[in-house]
A and B are shown apart, each in its own frame.
Chain A
């Protein structure tokens, strides 16, 4: 489904070359929930940006649903991103002038979905994240946790195959972080593939599969495949995360 082979990313300044990723190999299957951990500056976000086609890679092969991403034009990448990928950011990245309904509507508009269908999906997603009654509120009228739920709803509205989350609970207190994590797990159970970058090892452990990025390379695979999904679901209701 997602395959990276020998991916490298080099940031070039006048005198210095910085290797953000090198020989990065990863295969992600449909329905997986992967937590990506690693120290600051290790390349986690760079990996996520490349996975989300938000920035180009320097070398290697990247296949997404049998599409060779390296051969796509900018517009084709934008289309593919819009069709297949949903983003959840640490800073929520909601557009302040737009109310919740309109924020969720943004990716749907770019996809050219008709108004009635947009409305149906937005209402469904707002319902899912428990903010149906706040559709006309502006982001700044909500708490951080609520804003992140809106961001999740926005990511879900496009029915993406991949959900890429960059420190989705990084700006939240523990209670809100737990609620967001439970929501992500629920979304994963419904079939979405999730790749989540996090610093929080407790949070990472809740994901069935962990990968660690160190110095731009995949350093260690810790597969929690022995954990049955229902175990994770059982944990979902507990305050497992220590903020």
Chain B
């Protein structure tokens, strides 16, 4: 019977092509606009590492005096000082952890053949690769020994490898970052993430860095970070060493904690660490304050999806509702004009339920067609967003979930709009129309 209803719906659409086309267009435009904003919102708010987002934790330490305000909701600074980051980095616990900071280097091969270029570089511990699941094309991460010895080694990404070495295995080869020669130990596959959740200081939706080097090189190479550096009290800082010993916040810190027990143990450890630091008169704080936030909590805390984006999604749904109101009017006209035929069907044995379902199948078909065309309109909308200078322009794509959601939303919306007209027409008293036809 369902196929029969589809057949009847198709005939009905062919019988009133203009009205049907108008309804399909109305739903398509509504869906197009809605899916454009919803797709961007979906990509922004999507869990970037779903299978372990609850195991990766960003560490925040409040190493400021009591009463010191910060712009976070709980007054805890977002980043760590170098001495805290390195203390946690060098601690025995937990097994996987990494300090992390971004820098910028000029990359060259110390020859005439390759034109130097600027490369965004992430300075990290070697655990970073496994924690954030970067896959390797060639080689691998540097060893803990190389890291401890501050060996000048790097991992480059696939794109940089293509650019410098034509895609060949470059492990063991040398590149120059500013004036220092580095040996390549690994080449990562291109790291495609929608949200740069591990460092939200430099644009939440920017691309990941293309070069990675050991965190222990910061001190010997006196590497300046690219990103936010914040202080909370006056400090005389004239040398790089003074900067490293200062209370300036400029590094991120992540740990991987796989069980509730590991999480609790690490909480205890951080608590003890802060108490110990407090006794060194670095800051005056009665109760130690820190945060361990998993990936999704971290994104929420940093307001990766802004209120504006949510309002935009709300407005687009409002627009869809206006489209639906128009469709409802058109459906009312169309269905009620068909009341005589419904009267005949009722006389021939159709129940109200069968008539109701027949009409809901028809509106579902309108929704499906509108949804499919709406995907096309949404693609146009997203194409437009990609040409804007919005920081989230790169996110303006539709993933498979959104592609499937578009017709599902369109069908649901049309059913919603069609319930009243279908209910009205299924209540047709057959006797009224049979004589008058």
Contact = CB atoms under 8 A, between A and B. Distances in A.
Interface of A: 45, 49, 52, 54-55, 74-75, 78-79, 81-83, 87, 89-91, 93, 95, 97-98, 106-107, 109-112, 154, 158, 166
B347 A97 contact: no
A75 B347 contact: no
Given A109-B1, A158-B349, A97 B15 contact: yes
A93 B437 CA distance: 7
B434 interface: yes
Contacts of B354: 78, 110
The 10 A-B pairs of least Cβ separation, nearest first, read A82-B349, A78-B351, A107-B348, A110-B349, A54-B431, A49-B431, A55-B431, A91-B437, A75-B351, A93-B344
A110 B195 CA distance: 54
A166 B347 contact: no
Contacts of A82: 348-350
Contacts of B346: 54, 78
Contacts of A49: 431, 434
B267 interface: no
A93 B429 CA distance: 15
18 contacts: A49-B434, A55-B430, A75-B351, A75-B352, A75-B353, A78-B346, A78-B350, A78-B351, A79-B349, A82-B348, A83-B349, A89-B437, A91-B435, A93-B343, A95-B344, A97-B12, A109-B4, A154-B348
Contact of A87 (B12, B341, B348, B352): B348
A77 to B, nearest CB: 9
A82 B350 CA distance: 8
B434 A106 contact: no
Contact of B349 (A81, A91, A97): A81
A74 B348 contact: no
B52 interface: no
Given A91-B437, A93-B344, A95-B344, A78 B15 contact: no
B83 interface: no
A81 B434 contact: no
Contact of B347 (A81, A90, A98): A81
B334 to A, nearest CB: 14
A34 to B, nearest CB: 19
A136 to B, nearest CB: 15
A82 B437 CA distance: 21
A90 B435 contact: yes
B11 interface: yes
A111 B11 contact: no
B345 interface: yes
A95 B437 contact: no
Among B4, B349, B434, B437, the one with the most A-chain Cβ atoms within 10 Å of its Cβ is B349
A170 to B, nearest CB: 10
A109 B437 CA distance: 23
B430 to A, nearest CB: 5
A95 B437 CA distance: 11
A93 B353 contact: no
A55 B11 CA distance: 29
Nearest to A77: B351
B158 to A, nearest CB: 58
Contacts of A158: 349
A131 B354 CA distance: 29
B434 A110 contact: no
A142 to B, nearest CB: 16
Given A95-B344, A97-B15, 20 more contacts: A49-B431, A49-B434, A54-B346, A54-B347, A75-B351, A78-B346, A78-B349, A78-B350, A78-B351, A78-B354, A79-B349, A82-B350, A87-B434, A89-B437, A91-B435, A110-B345, A110-B348, A110-B349, A158-B349, A166-B434
Contacts of B430: 54-55
Contacts of A98: 11
